Structures are given as C-alpha cells and as structure tokens.
Structure 1
Amino acid sequence: MLSLDVRPIFYVIGALLSVLALAMAMPLVADLAAGADDWRVFAVSSALTLFFGVLLMLMNRTERIALSLRQTFILTTAAWVVVCFFAALPFMFSAQGLSVTDAYFEAMSGLTTTGASAYLTVSVLPPGVLLWRSLLVWLGGIGIVGMGIVILPFLRVGGMQLFRSESSDKSDKVVPRAADMALGFGWVYLALTFICIVSLRLAGMPMFDAINHSMTALGTGGFSIQDTSIGYYQNPAVEWVLTLFMFLGSLPFVRYISLVRGDYGSLWRDSQIRTYVIFTVIVSLGLAVYLFATDRLSAGDAIRHSFFNCVSIITTTGFASLDYLQWGPGPIALFFILTLVGGCTGSTSGGIKMFRFEILWLALRTQVNRLFSPNRVLPLTYNGKPVDADVIISVMSFTFVYIALILIFAVLLGMTGLDYTHAISAAATALGNVGPGLGGMIGPVGNYESLQDGAIWVMSLAMLLGRLELFTVLVLLSPSFWRR
C-alpha cells in the first residue's frame, strides 16, 4: 500500500472547518436580531465545528503545506464530505429539525450549489436557517471557483488542464501561491455580491431577501427563502437583476480579474464565453417566440420569463419565475437538455461546461474532414492555443462518464420508487448541480422532502460527483491509486 502523509490533508480540513464555524456567527446574529430561539442551535454547532477544526489543525501542524498529487485527490473529496457533515448540524438541531439523511442532503445541496431542498416549506423557517442555506451556497461558490482555477487543472481531469495558469509547470505540487490567486477571486466575488444586493434592493426586494438571493444567485445555487421561488415577488425588475447576476456567476472569474486590471476585451476574446453568450441568447429568444406564438404569454412576459428561466437552468442556478412545467412538452424537453449544458469553467456553475462542448465540436469537425481528406493536417486550437490529444481524450471520457452516470443514477433512483420522469431528471439535476427536476413532485415549485432515504443518499453522491468533476472522486476507487 501507498505510504501517505495525511497531516497536510487533515490540517487543511481543520482550517476549512474553522472557517465554517466562524461563518455560523452570521445566522446566529440574524436569529438574535429577529428574537428567534434558534440562535442557540448555531452557537452549539459553531462550538462543535470550531473544536474539531482547531483540534485537527493543532494535531497536524507542518512547516509547509505542499500537497502531492495523491494528497490533493484525497483532500478534494474528503474536505467536501467532512465539511458537509458539520454544515448539516444546524439543520439537525433546529426546531424544524431534519433527519441526518435530509440534513446532510441539504448541506451537500448548498455547498455544491445545487439548490435542491429537503424542506417541505421554507417560508416558515427562522431567519438564521434561511441565511445559513444561502451562506452555504455562497461559500460553496467561492470554493468551487478556487477549485476550478487552481486545483482541477492541476489534477488534469475532464480536460481542465487547458486552464493551467502556468502550462510549463510540470511539478507535482500544489504551490502555496494558489492561495493568493484564490484571494483575488474572493474580492471579485464579494464585490459582485454587494452590487447584486444593492441592485435587488433598488428593484424593490426587502433587504433580508436581497441578501439571501444575491448569495444564491452569484453562487448559482438557487436556494430561495420563498416556497414559490422568485415567482413569489411578481417583480419584473427583480427578475431581470437576478438574470444578469446568475449569468455573471456562470462566467470565468479569472476574466473578471483581467477586467479589473484594465484588459476590457478579455471577456469576449474567450472562446467559451462567446459561444456561451450566443447559445444562451438563441435558446432564450427561441423559447420566447414559442411562448408568444402559442398564446401562452404576451410578448414582454414571454421574453422576460424565457430569459430568466433559461439562464437559471443553463447556469445551473435553479430559480424559477413560473412553473415552466405548464408550458408544454416542448419546453420541458428543452429544459432537460439545458440541464446538461452548464456554464463556463472557472465559474460557480455545474453541468458539462461549455468548453467541453467546444472541444467535442472541434474533434468532430476534424474527424469529418479527415474522412474526405485523410492526408490533410488539421491542428486543433482553442483560444489560440494548440489542443493536445490527452485533452481531447479527457473531455470525451468525461462526457461519456457523465452521461453514463446519469443513466446509472436514474436506475438507482427508479429502484427507490420514482417514475421514469422523476428518476432521469433528478439524476441529471443532481449530477449537474441544477436543483429543480422536471416531475411535478421535484419540479420548480416542488421539493425533495417526499423522497426515500435511499434516493436522498444517491442524489447526495451524484451532487458530490458532479461538483468535483467526476474523476476526482472516481480515481479513489482505483486500486492502483493506493498502491506504492
């Protein structure tokens, strides 16, 4: 077996738990301000989390935190599993306490920015629990951005090696300066959240609602504090503001850094952003034309609701302004396809990601051209850089495994009693970190409260796999990974 130094792994997990414990102070203060007794829940949960976090840090101190390849694979999965358990404590201890299974599902859904809820109704929850759900999405979002830019390209999973910040770096260490890079993303993330809060407040949303929805919009998580999601407000200005910030949350945050530094053309020069914008506009306008032509909505409402809900699903946020299951079988089929797409790499969104579709298209086009011109040299380039064969293989492998896992999880969910529509859509939304499914029970105005415990654990695993880009978790199942 592999001799592995686990001290850096436990130290980093301890640091993450300490941050999580400090974050619990926000919902604690919210409950105190509202006079809710649930503040004790967050006091106890924070104390327990901080105790174990500090304990892990003290017991595993090292002079320098530098992770090898194997350590990084283990840390990436272990951190998400452990942090979700402690994040679930307030859901278990609160007055509307969830079971261990449902609480873990709720925490996993928040931190993976999925937005699927195990609560039957959320509008009756105390403000601290509501804020904690939103805060988990927000914290998960910034963790995902850092992971997508710093860790996953280093692990070379799913074609993410395209986005290595230093392609000449061949070392097998995660260098400490990655923290400096993540800090820059954090400031951008915080600034966008603040701007979203102000915009929603000016649009007429109450302050507490604006804070919660800003965090879940930028985190593309979709947790709402109302049972009917954004449809509760019946406010076009609010919907347009959220449409904009959901979309901003699904763009590569590294481009925002370039924008801040004065490179104003960096966004449009990125191939995946151009493709993503064009795709989103075409799909949204196409659905709006259909809704207007079939007399389901007026022209203005058709454009607004089409853009809002299409952007919500494409960005894997999961907000809803209407029950789009009432729009007919065509839009329902469209929304299932959009569930698979996802936003850009280096963003808070899930799904397959737009850059992988571009790589697949390049590979397909090259293969078709070689059929009638076998001797022609056709170099593949992406964003002006050559694409290696291992990137193409990685992307194709990821896409194959992604579709295969949807089918496998659908079968497993079907074995728990779900019908085909609920099973296949629940599998797709969990793996894509989208949130709402397409059946009446788990649709945009539904929830996952009625699912059996077996289905809840299957979906929790699917959310984890989808968020960690599949191979980061699957590689741990390989016996050769653990051999010397």
Structure 2
Amino acid sequence: MTLARASRVQREATPALDLRPIAATLGTLLTILGASMLLPALADFRAGSGGQGAFVGSAAITIFVGVLLTVSGRAGGRLRLDLRQAFLLTTSVWVVLSLFATLPLMWGPPHLSFVHALFESVSGLTTTGSTVMSGLDAAAPGVLLWRAMLHWFGGIGIVVIAIAVLPALSIGGMQLFRTESSDRSEKFLPRAGAVAKGLLTAYVVLSILCATGYVLAGMPLFDAVTLALSTVSSGGFANSDSSISVFANPAVDYVAIVFMLAASLPFPLYVRALGGDVWKLFRNSEVRLFFAIVAAFTVASFLQQVFQGVAEGEPALRGALFTVASLVSTTGFMSVDYTNWGPLSDALFFVLMFLGGCTGSTAGGLKSLRLLIAMKAVRQHLKRISYRNGLFPIRYGGAPVADDVVASVLGFIFLYIATFAVASALLSALGLDLRSAVSATIACLSNVGPGLGPLVGPATTYANLSDPVIGILTLVMLLGRLEIVTVLVLTLPRFWMR
C-alpha cells in the first residue's frame, strides 16, 4: 500500500468532528448567561448608579449569539456527545463564557482593559477569586453582583463536570469517583436528569442557608446574598477591598468557616443526605482525611500565632481556623492578614494551597481523594519491597482500586507539579520575585485567589502585574479548574485525527 493510499484510508476511517452538539450546548449556556446579566442591570437601575446600560447591551449580544448557536447546533435533530466532543466542550464552555462575561466589565464601570476583564471573568467562573479590581467598597452594586454570580455559575458547573464529565474522561483518578457513584449499591439517583436536579437542589439549599446565616450574623442583605454566592462556590470575590475582615464580626467569620468547609465536601453525599442517608457524609474516608488536614493545619497555625505573639485565645483560634478553611477550600476570603504571621505560616499555607477540598465539590487543588490514593500507593510500594511475595491491594470505600486508577492519580499529580514549576519559572523570567511568582502560580492553579507577599497577597490585588503575567495566570486558572489534562489533550494532533 502506497503512502498516499494509506493516508487516504486513514482519513476515510477517521470521522470528522461534529461540532453541532458543542454549538448547541454553548448556545444554551450563553443564552442563560446573557439573561442573567439583566439582574445586575436591575440592581444598577434601582441604585441609580448608571451602569445598567453596559449590562443590557452585553445581555443583548450574548443572547443573540447564544440563540444563533443553539439553532444552528440543533438543526440536525437530537445529538449526542462522544469522547472527543466531551473534551472539546469541557474546555470551550469556560473559555467562551469567560469571553462574553468580560463585556459588562469593559463597557461599564469599572471599564477594565480586555486583558484585565478576561482575568476577572476567568477568575470568577473558575471560582479562583483573584482580582485586578480595587475600590470595591464604592463600586456599583451591579458589578459586585455580577462577580458573585460568575462564581455561583462556575461553582455549579464545576460540580456537574466533576460528576458527569471528568469521570468518563478518566482524569486523575476521577474514574474511581465514577465507579463509586455509578455502582448500583452506591448510586444516589437513577437518571442523569435526576442527578443534575439533585446536585442543583443541594447547591441552592446550601446557598440559601449560607445567606440566611450571614443575615442572622448581622450582615446587610445585599452583602449576605453576594457573599453567600461566593462562599458556596468556593470563590472568594467580596464587596470590599478588605474582604470579610471589613465586618469585624466573629459571627460572620464562623458562618463563613462553616460554609467554606461545607462547600469543600462531595456534593453527591449532600444529595444522599437529603435522601435521608446523613451518616454517609461522615463515613467517607476522603471526608475524614479532609477534616484531619483542616484540624492539623489549624492547630499548627494557632500555635504559630501564640508563640510568635501575634494573637492568643479565641481570636487566634478563629483566625487560624478561618484562614485554613479559606485556603483549603480554595475560597480565598481574608479575615486577618496571615502574611504577617511569619515564615513558618507562609510555609504551612503554601503547602495548604496545593491540597484543596474533596472530589465532587466546588473547591480546587489536588483534592483529598488523590492524596488518599497516592498515600495508599506509597504504602503499597513499601510493603511490596519488604514482602515481595505478598499481595497488598489498594482499597477505597471497601472496594479494590484498579492499577489504571492509581496510575491516573500519580500521573495527574506529576502534571500538576510540572505545570506549577513551568508557570512559576515563566513568571520569574518576566520579572516577578520568587515568592510572588510561586505563590501567585499555585494560588491560580489551585483556584485559591490571593497569594503570599505584598505584591499578590490577600491585602492587595493583581492589578500591578504586567499584561504578559496576567495572561499566563489566566491560562493557569483555566488549567487548574479544568484538571489540566482536559486542556492539554486538545494540543495533541492525534486528538483531532481520531
């Protein structure tokens, strides 16, 4: 067979990528996004701030493009997604929605440049919480509401993708999560539509409870609603440059702690809890590891404050618990400036930024499930060295874990660290000091938000960084939220061929 004939046969055997399901899905989501822009427009109209025109114009364009894509995508009748389409759609959703979410940020107050507006919208939808905006205390209510809404939309989107898409793509051990959730004895709801409805119900209930808690703690209604959207989504956008510390209210701190930790737990377990199986939430080994991490880092941070003379008693414990909950949940709220607690705290919190919450939650980071599997893999390896003829299967939830799942977890951890190293090196090459470069990278990769130090710490913004640095961090946020592999696979020529 000649080379030309072989190439022709390969082209004939490789089906073209059908973009219609992707266009239809993107169109539907854009239509929803555009319609939601009318809420901030209404908020600005009622406040008389004059920013409603930008939101109305942005809504009109977004809805028009959304309807156009929906109609063109559904022209061929009912469509289904295959594996290649799922990969492409997963990335396209975050990129396309982020682009349209920039429109009101550029056309109305705060009139950001495209680079800064894209950074802000990506930070919102990926629930990172890094910001280039300042003067939030005097900002129009529409902009504040829009930022919180981006968090909330991104949070529920993350949960759905984590449950429905990533397990099918076998990314970083997510197939184990699919196995646990899809086994007949473990399946929490029988149909995909019911699954989505159950997850959304749990998400909405948690959001309402959080907003109610903030109101009861003495927070104004508007702040309570917007901060609840940011808290439950593990986002971190606040209505003040001082974040939650502006309220100086211990009750607000404790409400935030409870719901930041709650948002870090697997949402499928909440669905089971709504169905009556409450104890399932506390019997889960990933959840137990997560709370063990929270307890250990809280004790270490508390002792650090006491020994350094920073604080003592209840304020020290509350500050430690709030900061640990904020970082491990990748929310990024600030009640105290923890960068002033000394180098030991910097080291503790830097490690904490890597860890993240649980699988199937709105939190980012490596996730406790992967850490658990990696620790079991190391333990298995050590046992095999000591007892060469022994059998030591890795188990999770009482069931054995396949070798391909372990390999997927270890491969993902390697990619995560490699991405962190490359991005940190690029930022250093662009002129950032090492502390700012590495902390900004992990803060965006784990979707935490604030980094460490005076340049990117919790008491400042990313506005003073150059456009190339902002561009790299924007990409890093997307990589972190989309689990890296989802994006990197699109760069392989073989993906587009087969």
- Give me the TM-score of the superposition, normalised by structure 1: 0.97
Question: What pairs with 1:234-245 in structure 2 (closer than 5 Å)?
Answer: 234-245=248-259
Structure 2 partner of 1:252: 266
Q: 1:363 aligns with which of 349, 360, 377?
A: 377
Structure 2 letter corresponding to 1:348: T
One of 27, 47, 56 as aligned partner of 1:14: 27
Which of these residues, 92, 103, 110, is aligned with residue 78 of structure 1?
92
CA distance in 2, matches of 1:25, 1:270: 41
Q: 1:69 aligns with which of 83, 92, 96?
A: 83
**1:177 CA drift (Å):** 4.8
Alignment of 1:109-120 (within 5 A): 109-120=123-134
Distance (Å, rounded) in 1 between the aligned partners of 2:86 and 2:56: 32
- The answer to whether the Cα contact below 8 Å between 2:308 and 2:341 also exists between their aligned partners in 1 is no
Q: 1:381 corresponds to which residue?
A: 395
Counterpart CA distance in 2 for 1:451 and 1:143 is 29
Question: Which piece of structure 1 moves more, 96-105 or 25-34?
Answer: 25-34
1:57 aligns to 2:73 (yes or no): no
1:166: which partner in 2?
A: 182
Say if 2:228 is the partner of 1:214.
yes
Aligned ranges for residues 54-453 of structure 1 at < 5 Å?
54-61=67-74, 62-164=76-178, 165-166=181-182, 177-453=191-467
Partner deviation per Cα, 1:106-156 (whole Å, 9 max, x = no partner): 000000000000113322220000000011001100000001011110111
CA deviations on 1:238-267 (whole Å, 9 max, x unpaired) are 000000000101100000000011112111
Q: Which amino acid is 2:168 matched to?
A: F
Listed one character per residue, the Cα deviations across residues 315-335 of structure 1 (whole Å, up to 9, x for unaligned) are: 000001111111000001111
Shift, 1:294, TM fit: 2.6
The unaligned stretches of length 5 or more in structure 2 are 1-10, 185-189
Measure how far apart 1:463 and its partner are. Answer: 0.5
- For residues 347 and 135 of structure 2, what CA distance do their matches in structure 1 show? 27
**Per-residue deviation, residues 30-56 of structure 1 (Å, max 9, x unmatched):** 111111110111100100000000000
Aligned residue for 1:189, secondary structure, equals helix
| Cα distance in 1 for residues equivalent to 2:82 and 2:439 | 37
Deviation (angstroms), 1:63 = 2.6
Cα distance in 2 for partners of 1:247, 1:26 equals 28
The SS at the match of 2:260 is helix
Aligned-partner Cα distance in 2 for 1:431–1:242: 23
Amino acid at match of 2:40: P
1:189 alignment partner AA:
Y
Equivalent in 37, 56, 60 of residue 43 of structure 1: 56
8 Å contact kept, 2:98–2:125: yes
Asked if 1 retains the 8 angstrom alpha-carbon contact of 2:131 and 2:463, the reply is: yes
1:413–1:398 distance in 2 versus 1, CA, 3 Å: same
SS at match of 1:154: coil
CA distance in 2 between partners of 1:167 and 1:404 (Å): 34
Deviations 1:293-325 (A, max 9, x none): 332102110110000011000000000111111
Paired amino acid for 1:37: G
2-structure distance, mates of 1:251, 1:351: 13
Across the two proteins, how many residue pairs are aligned to each other?
Answer: 477
Partners of 2:123 and 2:477 within 8 A in 1 = yes
Task: Tell me the equivalent position of 1:472.
Answer: 486
For 2:19, give the aligned amino acid. Answer: V
2:71 counterpart letter in structure 1:
L
Q: Distance in 1 between matches of 2:454 and 2:111?
A: 25
Task: Give the residue type in structure 2 aligned to 1:121.
Answer: G
| Alignment-mate amino acid for residue 283 of structure 1 | F
Structure 2 counterpart of 1:319, which letter? F
CA distance in 1, matches of 2:110, 2:177: 44
Structure 1 letter corresponding to 2:69: L
How many angstroms apart in 2 are the aligned matches of 1:386 and 1:132? 45
Tell me the equivalent position of 1:173. none
**2:3: which partner in 1?**
none
Residue identity matched to 1:56: L
Whether the 8 Å contact between 2:286 and 2:372 is mirrored in structure 1 is yes
Offset, 1:416: 2.0
| SS at 1:375 equivalent | coil
Q: Which one of the candidate residues 459, 462, 469 is aligned to 2:476?
A: 462
Superposed CA deviations along residues 422-458 of structure 1, whole A, max 9, x for unmatched, are 1111111111000001021110111000111111110
Distance in 2, matches of 1:322 and 1:200, equals: 18
Classify the secondary structure of the residue corresponding to 2:229.
Answer: helix
- For residues 441 and 181 of structure 1, the distance between their equivalents in structure 2, rounded to whole angstroms, comes to 43
TM-score (norm 2): 0.94
Quick one: which amino acid aligns to residue 473 of structure 2?
Answer: M
State the distance in 1 between where 2:308 and 2:314 align: 14
